[in-house]
């Protein structure tokens, strides 16, 4: 007989618990991939090539796996807007901020404001009301992220050095993009086919990135092993794996709960940078990771009141 542990329901529950962990691990590698790839291509050009590679893989998958396409021009349009926000604005903003000198860790800290903004918007736009303990968890998560990244600074180093207001403006675009995109996806794109919907999103983001690359960049790429490896990983691991997980999590859960997972990204990125690049990981950062995890647990586990 098959042990009860391996019954379909148990396997389904295990997958549901594993999805957020896998999403955080995949999403956190985005900053590492940008560090490897940006020396060889300008941000919009890099992202455009990444999305084209993603579409080359996704479109055949829709047919092979029998996934449906979005129905009607309205669905395609809404998904394109979602893609413009989640992919175009968020990734374009992060990549340009890093290109203009902002450290990847600081970029992840500033984008880490997203859960607070998402929770604030989820009330009026989605009818979701956070409990006091969930607000406490969101604040704890932000404090923990700050501890992680402050601890990784060299002695005497300041947070806002080595870049100008343009980098701050681009990270602001990224923050608004991922925040509005999460809420917009939850409200206007429920029930859309996963793979077919992702194609519509990347097409929408790709159009804007194409214009940006044509108007503001040279389009030159220095092809190298490092660039190709970063490109393939970001396309397959992030643009397909992580994004499909994100869309599934948004579909299944409340927007603010899903957004709280982004608090776990900077600690994960700090661990990866410590392992790959031998960056500092002092005690303050380790304590900050524990504070961040405690904050996310409060957000995810506590009940939610509704109007």
- The tens place of each residue's pLDDT in the chain, 307 residues long, gives 444 433 445 555 566 667 788 888 887 888 778 878 989 999 999 999 999 999 999 999 889 888 889 999 999 999 999 999 989 999 999 899 888 887 776 677 677 777 777 776 766 665 666 677 777 777 787 787 777 666 655 555 555 556 678 888 998 899 899 888 988 888 888 888 888 999 999 999 999 999 999 999 999 999 999 999 999 999 998 888 887 887 778 777 655 566 667 667 777 776 776 676 665 667 777 787 777 777 766 766 654 444 4
Query: Which residues 6+ apart lie within 8 Å of 301 measured at CB?
Result: none
Please, where are the H alpha helices in the chain? 8-37, 43-64, 72-83, 90-99, 104-111, 114-126, 132-151, 165-188, 194-216, 225-233, 243-252, 255-260, 265-277, 283-301
Nearest-angstrom CA–CA distance, 102 and 97: 6
Task: With 0.85 as the threshold, say if the pTM is over it.
Answer: no
Nearest-angstrom CA–CA distance, 115 and 142: 9
* C-alpha dist (Å) from residue 68 to 62, 76, 193, 195, 250: 7, 13, 6, 8, 19
Q: Please, what's the b/e burial string for 271-305 (b: 16 or more CB within 10 A of its CB; e: otherwise)?
A: bbbeeeeebebeeebeebbebbbebbebbbebeee
pLDDT at 246: 77
Residues in the chain: 307
Nearest-angstrom CA–CA distance, 283 and 295: 19
Nearest-angstrom CA–CA distance, 37 and 46: 8
Nearest-angstrom CA–CA distance, 242 and 256: 18
- 8 A C-beta contact, residue 295 and residue 141: yes
pLDDT at 74: 94
Nearest-angstrom CA–CA distance, 183 and 179: 7
Distance of CA 122 to the CA centre of its chain: 18
- 8 A C-beta contact, residue 88 and residue 205: yes
């Amino acid at each position: 007989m098959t042990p009860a542990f391996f019954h379909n329901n148990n396997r389904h529950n295990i997958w549901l618990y594993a999805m957020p962990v896998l999403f955080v691990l995949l999403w956190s590698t985005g900053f590492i991939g940008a560090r490897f790839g940006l020396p060889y291509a300008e941000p919009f050009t890099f992202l455009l090539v990444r999305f084209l590679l993603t579409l080359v893989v996704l479109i055949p998958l829709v047919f092979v796996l029998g996934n449906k396409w979005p129905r009607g021009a309205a669905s395609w349009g809404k998904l394109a807007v979602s893609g413009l926000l989640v992919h175009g604005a968020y990734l374009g903003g992060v990549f340009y901020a890093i290109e203009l000198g902002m450290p990847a860790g600081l970029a992840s800290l500033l984008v880490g404001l997203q859960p607070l903004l998402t929770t604030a918007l989820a009330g009026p736009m989605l009818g979701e009301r956070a409990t006091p303990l969930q607000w406490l968890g969101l604040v704890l998560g932000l404090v923990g992220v700050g501890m992680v990244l402050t601890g990784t600074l060299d002695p005497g180093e300041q947070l806002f050095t080595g870049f100008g207001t343009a980098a701050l403006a681009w990270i602001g675009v990224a923050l608004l993009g991922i925040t509005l995109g999460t809420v917009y996806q939850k409200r206007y794109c429920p029930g859309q086919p996963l793979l077919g919907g992702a194609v519509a999103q990347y097409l929408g983001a790709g159009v804007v990135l194409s214009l940006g690359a044509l108007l503001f960049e040279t389009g030159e790429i220095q092809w190298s092993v490092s660039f190709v490896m970063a490109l393939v990983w970001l396309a397959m691991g992030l643009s397909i794996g992580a994004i499909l997980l994100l869309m599934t999590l948004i579909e299944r859960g409340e927007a603010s709960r899903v957004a709280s997972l982004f608090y776990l990204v900077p600690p994960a990125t700090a661990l990866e940078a410590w392992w790959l690049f031998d960056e500092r990981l002092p005690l303050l950062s380790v304590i900050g990771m524990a504070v961040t995890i405690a904050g996310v647990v409060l957000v995810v586990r506590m009940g939610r009141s509704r109007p």
